[in-house]
Amino acid sequence: MRIPDTVAAQGRNTRGICGGGALLVLLFAMLLVLTGSARAQAPAGTRTILRPWRALDVRTGELRSNQAVVIEGEKIVQIGSASEVKAAAVDTTIDLPEATLLPGLIDMHTHLTMDLNSLGYSGLGISTAREALHGARNARRTLEAGFTTVRNVGANDYSDIALRDAINDGDVIGPRIVASGPALSIAGGHCDSNLLPPAFHFQAGGVADGIEAVQHKVREVIKYGADVIKVCATGGVLSKGDDPNASQFTHEEMKAIVADAHRLGRRVAAHAHGAEGVRWASEAGVDSVEHGHLMDDAAIATLKKNGTYLVPTLFLTEYMQQNMEHSEVPEFSKQKMRMVAAAAQQNVKKAFDAGVKVAFGTDAAVYPHGWNAGEFHVYVKLGMTPLAAIQTATINAADLLGWKDRVGTLEPGKWADIVAVDGDPTKDVTILEHVKFVMKGGVVYKNDYSKR
């Protein structure tokens, strides 16, 4: 074993001061660290065996009874008949006799570091550090709700990058995060910050105008850790001074953003309500359009033609209609929300009927984190079967992420991201609002069945 030069130098210095005994102590400490690391890695060879009532094949809708799922480390290694899977003495067996297993759910549009009270004037008093801590709380709630992977599309000052890294390092409990950092915006548009008076001369971190500037901004957010590029192609709802129907970036700017992002290996999610912004975003080659609530038939046809995913974020319209009037949301946002909510579901239903590809997304933060699964029943109300709605949060979302080889189905070789519910979600999708068991990467984070 070769001792790193810096450690050897420290040993020489210590010996020079305190004699050879200190060097022996140092070497012994190193040995403990190394053997400790080896012991920490040993459990990767142990197995966990899940024995549910049944498991759902999300591709076909088949509910397979008498199954056993074998997990080694963070991956599924075998799925088969429970009678054929024999547990060894060292294996951990988890019996889930009333449960239906599904792959971990995926939400493609979250804002974990934000809450509804941070989106208006009160948000001006929240520091980036505090937002990151909000994110730690919201990440745990989201994971315990059954969402083992999320795409976080827009956060101030890279707070979502810090949250992602903290989860990956084991400091914080939460889902896998594909993070964008600051969303790209034009000056004064949605995703800029328009609440402060002119004397502050303040712009949000993702603001860029002109082709060279947007190219630079794409490269900058990637430099600081962005996994995906979020761009605000139209105005929004919970923002001041912009119009949800109005396009923001020019078509040429949009094409420049997408070209740089794709060349650098990042996918692009475009916030777009208005019809022109949806068309331009899809024609520029974005991977997904978020919301699409004010689309027209031509915009829907463009999404279909180009194979652009739609991430509908519909449950928020129901939630806001029921709760907005008694909230602290500014009146300018309430007016826009009323207008958008009146059209959103009928326009998205047209997209469903046209066969536009759909991936599940919620805009969690506009309503409470952990309520993400409320989105499913809206899809079913608009004509999807429960299975098709489940597919939006599993195989479709995995495809949009570019993670089909990692998540989205219960199959050997995939990450052991697994949830369980009572009953049959292919008959009643609202069951997914009450997840009882959550495993991410082979680690159990919730098991209500053990309390029975």
Complete DSSP assignment for 212-242:
HHHHHHHHHHHHTT-SEEEEE-B--SSSSS-
Mean pLDDT, to the nearest integer, of 321-335?
85
Residue 95 falls inside a structural domain: yes
> pLDDT band at 384, cuts 50/70/90?
very high
What is the C-alpha to C-alpha distance for residues 131 and 110, in angstroms, rounded to an integer? Answer: 14
Residue 387 falls inside a structural domain: yes
Our answer to whether residue 107 is catalytic in this structure is no
Our answer to whether residue 209 is catalytic in this structure is no
Residue 236 falls inside a structural domain: yes
Higher per-residue confidence, 225 vs 327 = 225
Q: Which two tokens stand for residue 281?
A: 């975003």
110 and 90 together in one domain: no
Which residue pairs, CB below 8 angstroms and at least 24 apart, start in 322-329?
323/367, 327/116, 328/117, 328/120, 328/122, 329/116, 329/119, 329/120, 329/238
> pLDDT band at 330, cuts 50/70/90?
confident
pTM: 0.89
114 and 55 together in one domain: no
> pLDDT band at 8, cuts 50/70/90?
very low
167 and 314 together in one domain: yes
Mean pLDDT, to the nearest integer, of 442-451?
94
Predicted local distance difference test score (pLDDT) of residue 45: 63
CATH number of the structural domain spanning residue 60: 2.30.40.10
Residue 30 falls inside a structural domain: yes
CATH number of the structural domain spanning residue 194: 3.20.20.140
Residue 406 falls inside a structural domain: no
What is the C-alpha to C-alpha distance for residues 293 and 295, in angstroms, rounded to an integer? Answer: 6
Predicted local distance difference test score (pLDDT) of residue 408: 98
199 and 344 together in one domain: yes
Mean pLDDT, to the nearest integer, of 379-406?
98
387 and 302 together in one domain: yes
199 and 236 together in one domain: yes
112 and 144 together in one domain: yes
Number of domains into which the chain is organized? 3
What is the C-alpha to C-alpha distance for residues 233 and 251, in angstroms, rounded to an integer? Answer: 9
Asked whether 229 and 266 are in contact (CB, 8 A), the reply is yes
Residue 37 falls inside a structural domain: yes
Q: Tell me which of 260, 363, 417, 446 is the catalytic residue.
A: 363
276 and 346 together in one domain: yes
pLDDT in tens, 34-72: 333 333 333 556 899 999 999 999 999 999 999 999 999
57 and 135 together in one domain: no
The answer to whether the Cα torsion of 95, 395, 286, 383 is positive or negative is negative
Asked whether 447 and 439 are in contact (CB, 8 A), the reply is no
Which residue pairs, CB below 8 angstroms and at least 24 apart, start in 26-31?
27/3, 30/3
pLDDT in tens, 229-259: 999 999 999 899 999 999 999 999 999 999 9
Range of the domain at 74: 46-101+412-451
149 and 280 together in one domain: yes
What is the C-alpha to C-alpha distance for residues 174 and 140, in angstroms, rounded to an integer? Answer: 5
Q: Tell me which of 230, 255, 336, 357 is the catalytic residue.
A: 230
Residue 58 falls inside a structural domain: yes
Residue 407 falls inside a structural domain: no
CA distances 165 to 224, 231, 253, Å, are: 12, 22, 31
Predicted local distance difference test score (pLDDT) of residue 452: 67
pLDDT in tens, 266-319: 999 999 999 999 999 999 999 999 999 999 999 999 999 999 999 999 999 999
